[in-house]
Amino acid sequence: MASKEKHKIVFVTGNLKKLEEVKAILGTTVELTHHKLDLTEIQGTSREVSTDKCRRASIELNGPVITEDTCLCFNAMDGLPGPYIKWFIDKLHHDGINKMLSGFEDKTAYALCTFAYCAKPGTDPILFEGRTEGKIVPERGLKYFGWDPIFQPDGFDQTYAEMSKETKNSISHRYKALNKLRDFLNTNSS
């Protein structure tokens, strides 16, 4: 009986912290490399952004790719800032995000991760989503990874930034999406 061949996939990212997390979560399921592409990101939902980005990356790199879009959605703001959180963090920083919510009693939020996989150019991307419920809190923990210091997942008294990498990687929105991707790849191996 022949052993299953590993999928060789390019993760389109320039974020080395994100790459580190993805490799830790996927483990040996895939032979993962990465490539930074400056793709113009369309405006839209996380699903629309992910699909478009993955389709164009697969064409540009001429092979199988995964892309990711991560959102932080505030229930008080009907899901905003959503896929635009990166720009909100860049301009307002963590304290500014908390000030945005100061007029609302509801501080609940959810982290949403959408991975898109495209097997080859010209094929439709397949989407894998993971969602973690939580709340927005004043900044706590290390500040080196996006909005981790202000998101506290339900059932925990720590923010993502205060957790060990192992704990975060076992409960996060990214973990949940990648679990679905891993299951798909294992089911559809060469």
**pLDDT score for 189:** 63
| Domains with residue ranges and CATH for the chain | 8-188 (3.90.950.10)
Question: Does 134 carry a binding-site annotation?
Answer: no
Question: Does 148 carry a binding-site annotation?
Answer: yes
Question: Does 159 carry a binding-site annotation?
Answer: no
Share of the chain above pLDDT 70, in %: 96
Share of the chain above pLDDT 90, in %: 66
* Helix and strand counts by DSSP (H, E) for the chain: 5, 7
| pLDDT tens track for 131-159 | 999 999 999 998 778 899 999 999 999 99
Question: Does 173 carry a binding-site annotation?
Answer: yes
**pLDDT score for 148:** 94
CA angle 143, 176, 69 (to 5 degrees): 60
Question: Does 38 carry a binding-site annotation?
Answer: no
Question: Does 14 carry a binding-site annotation?
Answer: yes
Question: Does 91 carry a binding-site annotation?
Answer: no
Rounded to two decimals, what is the model's pTM? 0.89
Dist CA 46 CA 175 (whole Å): 17
Question: Does 75 carry a binding-site annotation?
Answer: no
| pLDDT tens track for 72-121 | 999 999 999 999 998 999 999 999 999 999 999 999 999 999 999 999 99
Judge whether residue 2 has pLDDT over 50. no
Alpha-carbon dihedral of residues 58, 83, 18, 170, nearest 10 degrees? -110
